[in-house]
Amino acid sequence: MTDCLERIRKQPLEVWMIKMADRIVNLRPPPDFWSTEKRRAYREEALEIHRALSPGCPEFAKRLEEKIRAYEQYLA
């Protein structure tokens, strides 16, 4: 993920926004067969995306942060 985000950061801000939007949409209830470990890893990836790309679009960054926070309910 780190390498991917480094490449994205070299692209126009619209590309950053697409990556954040993708994760926003995908932070919905995880499949039942995902383990807690997999769910935690997916949330950690979302946090990494947020850290790397949030300067590109504060509005998307705020929405992604909200979705990450809401996703915590699936980690228990």
Report yes or no on 43 lying in a domain. Answer: yes
* Torsion 43-7-17-31 (CA) sign: negative
Q: Which domain holds residue 14?
A: 2-24+36-74
Q: Classify residue 50: in a domain, yes or no.
A: yes
| Residue at 55 is within a domain | yes
Q: Is residue 31 part of a domain?
A: no
How far is it between the farthest Cα atoms of the chain?
Answer: 37
Tokens at 9, concatenated: 């950061």
The pTM assigned to this predicted structure is 0.94
Provide the residue-wise pLDDT of the chain in tens; the chain has 76 residues: 999 999 999 999 999 999 999 999 999 999 999 999 999 999 999 999 999 999 999 999 999 999 999 999 999 8
Domain count along the chain: 1
Does 58 reside within a domain? yes
The answer to the question of residue 29 being in a domain is no
16: buried, middle or exposed (CB in 10 Å: 19+, 13-18, 0-12)?
Answer: buried
Q: Which alpha helices (DSSP H) does the chain contain, by range?
A: 2-9, 13-26, 36-53, 58-71
